[in-house]
Chain A
Amino acid sequence: MLKTQTITVNMGPQHPSTHGVFRMILTLDGETIVDLKPMFGYLHRGIEKMSEGRTYLQAVPLTDRLDYVCSMTNNFAYAVAVEKLAGIEVPERAEYIRVIMAELTRLVNHMMAIGFLFNDLGAFYTPVLYAYRERERHLDLFEMASGSRMMCNYIRPGGVSGDLPEGFLPALQKVIDINKKFVDEVDYFLSKNEIFLIRAVGVGVLPRQEAIRYSVSGPVLRASGVQYDIRKADSYSIYDRFDFDVPVQQEGDVYARYQQRLQEMRQSIRILEQAQKQLPDGPVMAKVAPRLKPPKGESYARIEAPKGELGFYLVSDGSNNPYRFHVRSTSLINLSALREMCIGFKVADVVTILGSIDITLADVDR
């Protein structure tokens, strides 16, 4: 028997494929991975501690910056949590606008996730730029509604900060039509690509039981055969009025996660069409004091963010500031399964698997 030795390689925080400042210490036997230790914390800004010194309304821009790709859904999750804690009723028009923004964000996120997955595989930047071209149309819509492209600060506890401007609904209709063609185009060009099939099928398999044990959520969970979607299982806002399916894939590999995101994009377009038709008139913000003082208590509320389950655990002691502001972050918990998925595969597969989990370091580190 040859006496062999494992080597330790550092995939350092600066790397083109690590989706942010994320460091992995790999222990390799030849080129096969034996152990993986993820290290993060390079982007820790102390959002939880900062929010304890701010009022509930001042904490909304902090939640924007949690997962900067999907700022609308972060705001949505926080607004749902505060409304559950304080018992605020949201007007109908605001609920529909929130659902429209959340589904537009889901489309943006899945487009970017698919684009960057292909970027990590080596198709340097062509799929990403097609995804970015479509994302620009969504960002124009966000700018029309909220005034800012990415850090929207739009969905606040009690409703939405301002009503939709006049040109919004025709532009939304145009975006929906273009998106339908775009999803079909992505499917046509990328799903049967030979290189992608060789590199993605059977890579990074997460079996169903392990997915539940490692507490993953979102598309990663549904691609492993668990049909659990918070919009259906524990419905919040007005999602019970819409007719949509929850797609699920059985294999749990990188290809399954790509297919899962593609199918979820189609379902999001369905919800958008229904929400746009049913949009009622009315006020967009409830009567909420700017210095909101929820009654003493605590609650945990969660939503189906594009990357998984985003939850906020808020403890209130009756004053202006939250006593405890905890973010149950999607990307951090999805990373628990990274080691399990990567062992036995090669170094090049680690990049693919990390790309398929779709993390944002700002959400991991907070």
Chain B
Amino acid sequence: MTNEEILAQIREAFPTAVLDVPSDMIDYTIVLAADQLLPVCRFLHDEIGMDYITDVTAVDYPEYFEVVYHLYSISKNQGMLTLKVRLEDKENPAIDSVTPLWPGANLMECEVYDLMGIRFEGHPGLRRIMLWDGFPGHPLRKDFENRTFTFKELEPTRPQPPNW
């Protein structure tokens, strides 16, 4: 089925979930409400058959964080659908995790948590994978300086070995 038919089915099942379908995008994008993400994703996974998630990423805009999901279906040979969720709270952004539905999203969400600071509720084991636990800040945010950090600055934040 085409992306428009999928949109119609989502609108029928979840009347309040779809916030926006921008018309000038290169890829077909659906913007969802943040609290309805997991039910819509479950609907897409079970009913429509979107069984492959290829990317979970996040973008830092001045007013909100935007978490972007790229899905497609291998069994039905369906083209790519992009879902977006906007998180207004920039201090403690949090969203439901889609890892229970698509286990492949596990490491992708860990990376988004690590580099952007967005927590995923319901994730089995959210941890910082690229950087270490004591790293000051989340690098991909726009308020993190884009420069080289010296060894002397970062060494105190590294986990110290235990003093046997």
Contacts and interface: CB of A to CB of B under 8 A. Distances in A.
A186 interface: no
B42 interface: no
B103 A213 contact: yes
Interface in A281-304: 297-300, 302
A108 interface: no
B70 to A, nearest CB: 6
A41 B130 contact: yes
Interface in B37-90: 51-55, 57, 59-60, 68, 70, 74-75, 77, 79-80, 82
A212 B106 CA distance: 14
Contacts of B27: 298-300
B107 A324 contact: no
Contacts of B24: 297
Contact of B130 (A44, A214, A309): A44
Interface size class of B (residues with CB under 8 A): 35 or more
A332 B104 CA distance: 10
Contacts, number: 94
Contacts of B25: 297-298
A239 interface: no
Nearest to B55: A328
A233 to B, nearest CB: 7
A46 B129 contact: no
B54 A215 contact: yes
A213 B104 contact: yes
A309 B26 CA distance: 20
B14 interface: no
A49 interface: yes
B146 A52 contact: yes
Interface string A44-75: 10101110110000000000000000000000
Interface string A139-158: 00000000000000000000
Contacts of B26: 84-85, 297-299
